[in-house]
Amino acid sequence: MALLPILRFPDARLRKVAEPVARIDEAIRRLARDMAETMYEAPGIGLAATQVDVHKRLIVIDASETRDELLTLINPEIVELSGKQRGEEGCLSVPGIYDKVERAQRVVVRYLDLEGQEQTVEAEGLLAVCLQHEIDHLQGRVFVEHLSQLKQQRIRNKLSKQARITA
């Protein structure tokens, strides 16, 4: 397994819409393992393939407190949304930035597992937010795009300044 570099906002590659996974083979399984290792090491609770510059519809999530409930979702699709919640979000591609975002309270997501079997997950609360957040990445959206233009510009400026300092 290998740690993968995570793209940072406002990298244009984060805006690329991911393609469906056509075939679940060893390369996809290896990518999923590497993404999970990268997510846990970061540390984060979710990672989309888009964030590691692979534009396939694949996400890994572990929103459990014990960090032992890894979900790997291939070609995830939200089939139902209900309710509303507003909570603070962060992102491995937008390090150090957190802000409140409105999301659905409950979601139902259909996806393929690593064996190619169709599965459904129903989620509320943090897991529901995480699923919506990661599926946004597959559609070329970063959570800051849910914020005002002014906040987006401030975040770009802050991250540019951080990049200059660390360079």
30-49 per-position pLDDT tens digit:
999 999 999 999 999 999 99
* Residue-number span of the structural domain to which 121 is assigned: 12-166
Tell me whether residue 134 is one of the annotated catalytic residues. yes
Which residues, in sequence order, are CB contacts of 60 under 8 Å at separation 6+?
32, 35, 36, 39, 46, 47, 70, 71, 72, 73
For the entire predicted model, the pTM comes to 0.94
Asked whether residue 3 is domain-assigned, the answer is no
Question: pLDDT class for 161, splitting at 50, 70, 90?
Answer: confident
Residue of 19, 122, 134, 145 marked catalytic: 134
Asked whether residue 27 is domain-assigned, the answer is yes
pLDDT at 167: 64
Provide the CATH number for the domain around residue 155. Answer: 3.90.45.10
